[in-house]
């Protein structure tokens, strides 16, 4: 039905990070990646509201949460959620390990503030590590989402992302590099093993 955001053959998933996708430079102990797989969103029954982080004041934030809960209870939104919560140093180690495995970086003994050339972009090692760990987390979540989608007989995935830090509508360097890590690395084969899903 046209009023449903999810077409019959399309699976819709949204991903985000807290406190930031580019977490290496941030003073935080943990990095959390969240994925939400939507079974259904009934658009005519919903009104446009600002992002939670843009809601001013505690009352508006509580109203935002109440509105979301009401629509979930009313079955206007159907979803499944996963989160990967990792200590910062482990995220750095895992992101760096993938980059070494893909021969993007040669050694673990590298200055995180130094820069490397990747797909014609100069990017700091620390930001490339963060994008790499984000890609790993998303693949881990997507693997279970893909299994769910197969049981729903849906043929396609649609991924939704916020703009990555420092990106804009006119310049999406970080997202382009993140996309290359997803598509060009062993991660694409990993998701394909059990689900027959291939990213493109």
User: In this structure, what are the phi and psi dihedrals at residue 105, rounded to the nearest 5 degrees?
Assistant: -125, 145
State the Cα–Cα distance between residues 21 and 178, nearest whole angstrom: 10
**What is the helix (H) or strand (E) element at residue 56, kind and residue range?**
none
Is 22:178 a contact under the CB 8 Å cutoff?
no
Mind listing the pLDDT tens digit for each residue in 111-142? Answer: 999 999 999 999 999 999 999 999 999 888 88
State the Cα–Cα distance between residues 130 and 174, nearest whole angstrom: 10
User: How would you label 160-177 residue by residue, b for 16+ Cβ within 10 Å and e otherwise?
Assistant: ebeebeebeeeeebbbeb
Is 97:91 a contact under the CB 8 Å cutoff?
no
Q: Tell me if 2 is assigned to some domain.
A: no
User: 170 is written with which tokens?
Assistant: 């006119």
Mind listing the pLDDT tens digit for each residue in 65-106? Answer: 999 899 999 988 888 899 999 999 999 999 999 999 999 998
Q: How many CB atoms lie within 10 A of CB 183?
A: 13
Q: Tell me if 147 is assigned to some domain.
A: yes
Q: Tell me if 101 is assigned to some domain.
A: yes
Query: What confidence category does residue 150 fall into, taking pLDDT thresholds of 50, 70 and 90?
Result: confident
Pair type for strands 156-161 and 10-18: parallel
Q: Tell me if 84 is assigned to some domain.
A: yes
State the Cα–Cα distance between residues 184 and 119, nearest whole angstrom: 11
Round the average pLDDT of the chain to a whole number and report it: 84
How many helical (H) and strand (E) elements, i.e. helices and strands, does the chain have?
5, 6
**What is the helix (H) or strand (E) element at residue 171, kind and residue range?**
none
Mind listing the pLDDT tens digit for each residue in 38-64? Answer: 887 777 777 788 877 778 889 988 998
Q: Identify the domain containing residue 114 by its residue range.
A: 10-195
Evaluate the CA torsion angle 189, 190, 196, 200 in order and state its sign.
negative
State the Cα–Cα distance between residues 168 and 178, nearest whole angstrom: 15
State the Cα–Cα distance between residues 14 and 128, nearest whole angstrom: 21
Q: Is the pLDDT of residue 30 over 90?
A: yes
Is 144:83 a contact under the CB 8 Å cutoff?
no
Q: Tell me if 75 is assigned to some domain.
A: yes
Q: Tell me if 1 is assigned to some domain.
A: no
Structural domain total, the chain: 1
């Amino acid at each position: 039905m046209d009023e449903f955001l999810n077409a019959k053959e399309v699976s819709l998933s949204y991903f985000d990070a807290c406190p930031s996708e580019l977490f290496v430079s941030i003073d935080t102990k943990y990095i959390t990646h969240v994925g939400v797989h939507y079974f259904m969103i009934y658009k005519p029954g919903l009104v446009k509201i600002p992002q939670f982080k843009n809601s001013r004041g505690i009352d508006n934030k509580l109203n935002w949460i109440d509105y979301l809960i009401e629509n979930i209870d009313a079955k206007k939104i159907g979803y499944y959620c996963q989160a990967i919560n990792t200590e910062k140093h482990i995220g750095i180690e895992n992101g760096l390990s993938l980059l070494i495995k893909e021969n993007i970086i040669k050694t673990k003994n590298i200055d995180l503030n130094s820069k490397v050339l990747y797909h014609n972009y100069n990017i700091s090692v620390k930001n490339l590590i963060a994008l790499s760990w984000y890609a790993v987390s998303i693949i881990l979540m997507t693997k279970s989402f893909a299994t769910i989608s197969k049981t729903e007989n849906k043929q396609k995935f649609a991924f939704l992302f916020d703009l990555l830090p420092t990106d804009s509508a006119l310049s999406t360097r970080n997202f382009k590099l993140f996309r290359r890590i997803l598509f060009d690395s062993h991660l694409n084969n990993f998701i394909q093993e059990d689900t027959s899903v291939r990213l493109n």
